[in-house]
Amino acid sequence: PPPRHKGTTDPVGDRLIAVWFAIGILVALYTVASRFFVTDRYLFMPALLLCVPLPFMLNEILSRYRNREERSQANWRTHLLVGMICIIPVLSIAKPIVKNSNDKMYIREAAGWVKKTLPASSTIYYNDSQVAFYAGDYNNHSFLHSFQSLDQIREQAYEYAVLLNKKGTGLSEAQLSVNGQHLEAIFKTVNRRGHVVAVYRLA
């Protein structure tokens, strides 16, 4: 058969690329499902099994790409995938170094306090999923509902409210009251940007 030229179809390469992205999408869907619908123990093994073919596919893609003749005949999709394979790990390593991770320390601090201090049996409302995640309260999906005041949260039989209020957003002073009385936070932490996580006892 006549040699393939750059830009022509590459059935094997295209199939590898399609399977690679399909596995990535499935793992992402499993992650979403575990966060909002199903507990982790039911999803960990299927997600792990989906990742088993990835090293073999990666080896196949890079082996084909190392061959100068095959590399010159590869289509743009193969070049794009190989570029992503090389760039993404570098970015993953560089991101924590470049970005100041201290910006979220106040969230971890508040979540740690909640986990250590509040009774395990208490009903807690979180207005942000990050705090619930760091507190280890993985099955608490209260952040899916929004309320306009502490009174509204209390009416839903929550004993505690953990509120992440970024500067310029969140509940006003008037809304931070129960039965008309201003309620002081039992714990509060602030970051350098003025973002606050405050914990309120409602019952």
Tens-place pLDDT, residues 148-170? 889 999 999 999 999 998 876 66
Predicted confidence at residue 23, as pLDDT, reads 72
Averaged pLDDT for residues 135-149: 91
Residue 117 has pLDDT above 60, yes or no: yes
Average pLDDT over residues 19-42: 67
Q: How far apart are CA 100 and CA 93, in angstroms?
A: 13
- Give the SS3 label for residue 168: coil
Query: What are residue 79's DSSP bridge partners?
Result: none
Instruction: Inform me whether the pLDDT recorded for 69 exceeds 50.
Output: yes
The rounded distance, in Å, linking the Cα atoms of 110 and 125 is: 14
Using pLDDT thresholds of 50, 70 and 90, give the confidence band for residue 100.
low
Q: What confidence category does residue 133 fall into, taking pLDDT thresholds of 50, 70 and 90?
A: very high
Note the pLDDT of residue 16: 66
d(CA 74, CA 71): 5
pLDDT score at 160: 96
- Between 199 and 79, where is the model more confident? 199
Burial class (CB in 10 A: 0-12, 13-18, 19+), 74: buried
pTM of the model: 0.52
Higher pLDDT, 182 or 6: 182
Report, as an integer, the average pLDDT of 1-27.
61
Q: Could you tell me the pLDDT band of residue 124, with boundaries at 50, 70 and 90?
A: very high
Question: What six digits make up the tokens of 72?
Answer: 């010159």
